[in-house]
Structure 1
Amino acid sequence: MDILGQTIRKEGFLALYKGMASPLIGIAGVNSLLFAAYSVSKRIVSPYPDLSIPQIAAAGAMAGAVNSVLASPVEMFKVRMQAQYGLPGDKRLRHVVSDMWTHWGFRKGFMRGFWVTVAREIPGYAGFYGGYEFAKRSFSKTYGKELPFWALLTSGSCGGICYWLACYPLDVVKSRVQQADHPPKGLDYITQEMRVVLRQSGWKGLFRGLGTSLVRSVPAAGATFAAFEVTRGWLVEHTNL
């Protein structure tokens, strides 16, 4: 709440949407890849349609690894836009994109933090899909297979909460790596950055901002899963897909 008040006071209400352009442009592709990879992963995990929760989590982990290909650059530009503090030298998204390409190129610029993004997405999406299916099946015991819309929203929110609980320290490391002035060095940069956080802030540093992410995940993940289920139901009913 303190950061919310400071942001509005210093930069205005629209500053709360800083960095939105990157995920807004990329989210359709990211979610399309994620759900398509999840569908394929379920068939790889088991040829049978009724998967157990551990099998669902395994398929989610596989989908998360694939999703990192698009999620990494989208997250990187979002983080760098949000790290600006309303000063005269703040840059628009197109300038941030141009600077990263000019100074660092594709691998160290656009894909900076790729491996820590992979490390985050694997446990994160295991929890995301596992938590969603667990909640959805729990509601199905009472309401049957055709769940009311609010139950889909609630199940999705459970998946979002499980996502952050499964991977949040890695998200802290990812944000620090992507926000840094220079790309990380060495293959063990994840453990290096984690040691820096522990040395500077202790264990609490690895969970700083977790409450905000959990609050965010309730409407965001709820809407994502509900929209997916409604869209899939419409496609099944009205098309031959």
Structure 2
Amino acid sequence: MNLWEISWTEAAGGAAAGAIADGVLYGIDSAKVRTQTAPAAGGEAGFRILFRGMGPTILLGSVPVFGSFFMLYAPAKAVLQEHHAEGFLPLVSCVCAVPATIIGVPADVLKKRLVLGLDANAVTAIRHVVAHDGIYRGLFAGWHVNLIRDIPFAGAKIGLYEWCVFYYKKYIQKVPKEERITIVGSSICGVLSGVGCAIVTAPLDVVNTRIKADSTLSHSTSIQTVTMEIVEREGLQALFRGVAFRSFVLGVGSSIFWPIHRTVSHALQSAP
């Protein structure tokens, strides 16, 4: 199989897995967002708002984000494995996370505004942020926070996942490293890597939410300024608001994501 076939099949698997995992856990992730900052004054409450913007967010965010990441990561991984240089996989994942993260920022902005009750639908949200701040400052608000959060997150998550897979196959599945991991093993490794990364990156996730919701007193997009405001007004513990939700979302999400990604990509690669 050539690198192009590896690239597009893994990208398809990533896009499908991302859409399904994020769709299943959308409401819980929305609840996390609402715990990280105060919902809009007089805004809508209740169960339904947790699913507001689900379709546009997944189509504009999850699908292209995971698809683009694996389109770049999969062939690079294949080359590294061919040269027995798997130790560089976390670094490669960090590089591949850059374009994927930038692609997903507008969808992230829309979701946070919608589930916090700042806008009623995606069209209204786009009009509001573009009219108020322009296309770049509006739809890409907090892009630098996304990068600072997601680049080390990608490296840590991929590194932890590959590490778990290696030891799972060696000590539990007891097969050569070249053989594919089982679906159960993939789920277990996904949970461990997802929860670990969720805790480490929780403070940046809170800051990211505050910037996109424009809920700080200074309305700043500076990571340092917003972080200091949160700590001064609410205490250090506020930086870990929603960490339980985030751990659940990323843990369970990873346990769903990796088996689906493996199944879809393998099926496409095995197709005649």
TM-score (norm 2): 0.74
CA–CA distance in 2 between the matches of 1:136 and 1:38?
17
Counterpart code for 1:39: A
Counting only pairs closer than 5 Å after superposition, residues 22-41 of structure 1 correspond to structure 2 as 22-26=56-60, 27-39=62-74
CA–CA distance in 1 between the matches of 2:141 and 2:79?
30
Deviation at 1:235, TM superposition (A): 1.9
Counting only pairs closer than 5 Å after superposition, residues 62-211 of structure 1 correspond to structure 2 as 62-84=95-117, 91-141=120-170, 142-143=172-173, 144=175, 145-180=179-214, 185=220, 189-211=222-244
- Kept in 1, the 8 Å contact 2:77–2:89? The answer is yes
Deviation at 1:11, TM superposition (A): 4.3
- Kept in 2, the 8 Å contact 1:139–1:151? The answer is yes
Deviation at 1:184, TM superposition (A): 5.5
CA–CA distance in 2 between the matches of 1:41 and 1:172?
32
CA–CA distance in 2 between the matches of 1:224 and 1:100?
31
Moved more, 162-171 or 198-207: 162-171
SS at match of 1:147: coil
Deviation at 1:207, TM superposition (A): 0.9
- Kept in 1, the 8 Å contact 2:160–2:193? The answer is yes
Deviation at 1:33, TM superposition (A): 1.0
- Structure 1, residues 164-222: CA drift from partner, whole Å, max 9, x if none? 23322111111100100699657xx1111111111112221111110110011122122
The alignment yields a C-alpha RMSD, in angstroms, of 2.8
CA–CA distance in 1 between the matches of 2:153 and 2:169?
24
Q: Does 1 or 2 have the higher relative contact order (CA < 8 Å, sep 6+)?
A: 2
CA–CA distance in 1 between the matches of 2:74 and 2:240?
31
Cα distance 1:236–1:37, how it changes in 2: closer, same or farther (>3 A)?
same
- Kept in 1, the 8 Å contact 2:220–2:226? The answer is no
CA–CA distance in 2 between the matches of 1:46 and 1:192?
42
> Among the aligned pairs, what percent are the same residue?
18
Deviation at 1:49, TM superposition (A): 4.9
Deviation at 1:83, TM superposition (A): 1.1
For 1:14, the equivalent position in structure 2 comes to 48
Deviation at 1:44, TM superposition (A): 8.4
Deviation at 1:22, TM superposition (A): 3.5
Counterpart code for 1:102: A
SS at match of 2:201: helix
Deviation at 1:12, TM superposition (A): 4.4
CA–CA distance in 2 between the matches of 1:116 and 1:45?
29
Aligned residues: 226
Counterpart code for 2:206: V
Q: Which runs of 5+ in 1 are unaligned?
A: none
- Kept in 1, the 8 Å contact 2:114–2:122? The answer is yes
